[in-house]
Structure 1
Amino acid sequence: MTDIQTIDRLRRIGWRGDTLPANGRRLARVVAQHRAGYELHDGDHLFGAQPAGYFLKRGLDPSERPAVGDFVEIEEGKPPHIVTVLPRRTTLSRAAAGERYERQLIATNIDYVLVLTGLDGDFNPARIERYLSLTEGSGAQPVVLLSKLDIRDDAQELLDALAARLPAGTPVHAINGKDPSSVAMLSSYLGPGDSAVLVGSSGAGKSTLTNTLLGRERMATGAVREHDSRGRHTTTHRALLELPSGGCLIDTPGMRELKLTGDENLDLFADIETLAESCRFADCGHGSEPGCAVQAALDSGELSHDRWRNYLKLRDEREEQAATLEARLRRQRGGRPPVRPHGQRGARERD
């Protein structure tokens, strides 16, 4: 097989490069990770592989290990071994659960993050904002999908209200994940060579939507609890799937904890930041200070109290995570915290 044929084959699974490794190694994409090793795809075949010893070193940053979506170089053997993770063009990650700070990769080399939320009890605009905040900086475009369209008569009202709350231009679609005609519009995000990751809570309908996109029942589905619309984890691990549309979809287990990494800019709330810059005092606490533009917007209804509270929650979490990350990096460097000058915090009017 010629290099051109090999590259064309790899493009079917999302490869964007124009060259192949010059060392004779084989190129493949990670489609799943298990306790016993990895599943890879080379554009033609699915096969198992083991990580090289380097990736098993204790203390290695988890982000340096192969993740679902990665393109990797393989050395042939029985079994083949992953020896190199190629540079990632996009990366979606979150902070892992628990007290110890650790970044967990969700998916790499993706073009779109499909945020799926049910129009039942799962619907939560604050959680959607959290997903979109995590997507910032990933390099991928977020697309919000509201599933279970068939159970709501007021779906358009919810759609309009959510669209008004999110930044202009954020794609928001209401769909019935069981109906192929309803999800046909997603083909614009899942065309040949495109890669998307599907995220959302358990019971939101990820497996149902995946089956409809595949055109067959591949993923197990389950019922949700009536009192909170939550489901069991029918998807147990991340997996990259080839779709009839030509794109690749990474399905993920339901995520009940979405911790920010500390790197987020919270551009989602740029309007609130702009309001804060209009306050009379540069160090305004947005409480009872005179000339507070944020409080004026809250009083007038220009800014909703729910969105303001969620912004404060995410901002504080982001800053806490950023401080934790900095402390960890400082310990690794064996350095000391920088000395910061102490200044008085007074009511300073803007120039």
Structure 2
Amino acid sequence: MSSSSSFSSSFGGSFNPDSTQPGHPFPDGSFLVALGLDADREAEFAPYLAEGLVAGRVSRVDRSTCDVVTGDGGTLRAAHGNGPLPCAGDWAAVAVPGRSRHATPDDEPVVVALLDRRTALTRSSASGRSEGQVLAVNVDAVLIVVPLDVEPDLGRIERLLTLAWESGAQPLVVLTKADTVDDAEQVRADVEAAAPGADVLVVSAVTGEGVDVLAATAAGRTVALLGSSGAGKSTLAAVLTGADLATGGVRQDGKGRHTTTWRELVPLPGGGVLVDTPGLRGVGLFDVQDGLDRTFSDVEQYAEQCRFADCGHVAEPGCAVLAAVEAGELPQRRLDSYRKLRREADWIASRTDHRLRTERARQWKVIHKEMRRNPSPKK
């Protein structure tokens, strides 16, 4: 099996997973353990291995091909195949010419199947497609990167938290560039109030503050970086991976230049991977009911005490949410943000439902037209 490039060099030869021991039940799987392979994934791969397919993890996706890291640390450039489009983080079964009957006519590797996705980080598609845009899959933790050199936008943090919670991964808010401000701890307290259930960590790549804690959190896991351009994602990635990643600097208006233009997996020393994503200017919500409930768990807690089950928390009598705001127990800003994101989520859901209904109607028209053109023979 030939590889288009080597992924293992990123570990500097220092990684030594248990699966390198003789008799390990997963053939050629030693390097995949470093990338998150576990016993359940091994069992899922078993029938594909029996067909002569190669197991791997998708590290990067291009228009019609993707890079798949295999058990020896090499990387296969494979066609997407006929199934769902691969995404960074997917576990894939690949047909390799000469080893499987699934090889493509062009005698090139091809992705035959993707294992079930445990988590999926998805936002509303800019093109308006009803299925949403998947940013990364099989992620254990989402690092929401927020720079301290400008005043944090709590509403945007809540939006990113909603995406992270909905994905099924554990969110962690990382406040970067702590060396540029004197009130980092006060800002952390404000962010913590807007992020119930999520940890908030203050980090500085210059002084090293918080870096050890962040590295320990990421070790052995699949973590995704999420945030705007200029938030310090590339610098954070360099610190975590030990690489010397070039950054594009920060413009005078505080907006960063896009330094990552695609999503890809980067190995972490000692095991685990980082999914680096491009800076997000806009973050549209997509099917985020559970994510909103988690992000605004404090609002939902009060909502359970409202007189009416369908209370809109606007002017209804017996509204516990409005009472909490009046009593100073719940910030008005939190309620305003909750209303805004709830309206957006409801609108996107209704738009998606309309598209699905329209598509179904179109399909039935085609079927009925074909039936009229070719009626069943009379008995």
TM-score computed with the length of structure 1 as normaliser: 0.85
Q: Is the aligned partner of 1:11 residue 2:33? A: yes
CA deviations on 1:98-149 (whole Å, 9 max, x unpaired) are: 4443411111111111110101226211111111111223221111100001
Q: Is the aligned partner of 1:141 residue 2:167? A: no
Amino acid of the structure 1 residue aligned with 2:28: T
Aligned 8 A contact 1:178 1:212 in 2? no
Q: Which secondary structure does the structure 1 equivalent of 2:92 belong to?
A: strand
Q: Is the aligned partner of 1:256 residue 2:285? A: no
Shift of the alpha carbon at 1:72?
0.6
Shift of the alpha carbon at 1:215?
1.6
| Unaligned 5+ runs, structure 2 | 1-21, 98-106, 364-379
Structure 2 CA distance for aligned equivalents of residues 122 and 6 of structure 1: 49
Q: Is the aligned partner of 1:174 residue 2:202? A: yes
Task: State the structure with more CA Rg.
Answer: 2
Q: Which secondary structure does the structure 2 equivalent of 1:172 belong to?
A: strand
Q: Provide the alpha-carbon RMSD of the alignment.
A: 2.3
2:331 match = 304
Structure 1 CA distance for aligned equivalents of residues 361 and 151 of structure 2: 45
Structure 2 CA distance for aligned equivalents of residues 197 and 172 of structure 1: 16
Shift of the alpha carbon at 1:53?
4.4
1:334 match = 361
1:152 match = 181
Say if 1:289 and 1:92 are closer, same or farther in 2 by CA, change over 3 A.
closer
Shift of the alpha carbon at 1:154?
0.3
**What is the correspondence of 1:18-33 to structure 2 with a 5 Å cutoff?**
18-19=42-43, 20=46, 21-33=49-61
1:108 match = 137
Aligned counterpart in structure 2 of residue 42 of structure 1, from 30, 46, 70: 70
Structure 1 CA distance for aligned equivalents of residues 317 and 80 of structure 2: 62
Amino acid of the structure 1 residue aligned with 2:305: S
Amino acid of the structure 1 residue aligned with 2:281: R
Aligned 8 A contact 1:190 1:245 in 2? no
Q: Is the aligned partner of 1:316 residue 2:343? A: yes
Identical aligned pairs, as a percentage? 40
**Normalized per residue, which structure has more helix?**
2
TM-score computed with the length of structure 2 as normaliser: 0.79
Amino acid of the structure 1 residue aligned with 2:192: A
Shift of the alpha carbon at 1:33?
1.4
**What is the correspondence of 1:1-351 to structure 2 with a 5 Å cutoff?**
3-16=25-38, 17-19=41-43, 20=46, 21-35=49-63, 37-55=65-83, 64-77=84-97, 78-121=107-150, 123-167=152-196, 169-180=197-208, 182-192=210-220, 194-217=221-244, 219-227=245-253, 229-265=254-290, 266-267=292-293, 268-334=295-361
| Unaligned 5+ runs, structure 1 | 56-63, 337-351
CA deviations on 1:150-198 (whole Å, 9 max, x unpaired) are: 011100001112112321x411100013455631112332223x11111
Q: Which secondary structure does the structure 2 equivalent of 1:145 belong to?
A: strand
Structure 1 CA distance for aligned equivalents of residues 178 and 35 of structure 2: 31
Shift of the alpha carbon at 1:26?
0.3
Amino acid of the structure 2 residue aligned with 1:49: R
Aligned 8 A contact 1:114 1:145 in 2? yes
Structure 2 CA distance for aligned equivalents of residues 38 and 178 of structure 1: 35
Say if 1:287 and 1:325 are closer, same or farther in 2 by CA, change over 3 A.
closer
Shift of the alpha carbon at 1:284?
4.4
Structure 2 CA distance for aligned equivalents of residues 154 and 52 of structure 1: 49
Aligned 8 A contact 2:81 2:110 in 1? no
Aligned 8 A contact 2:223 2:273 in 1? yes
Structure 2 CA distance for aligned equivalents of residues 5 and 50 of structure 1: 20
Q: Which secondary structure does the structure 1 equivalent of 2:297 belong to?
A: helix
Shift of the alpha carbon at 1:36?
5.6
Aligned 8 A contact 1:113 1:141 in 2? yes
Structure 2 CA distance for aligned equivalents of residues 299 and 212 of structure 1: 45
Aligned 8 A contact 2:162 2:288 in 1? no
Structure 1 CA distance for aligned equivalents of residues 318 and 93 of structure 2: 59
Aligned 8 A contact 2:313 2:319 in 1? yes
Q: Which secondary structure does the structure 2 equivalent of 1:69 belong to?
A: coil
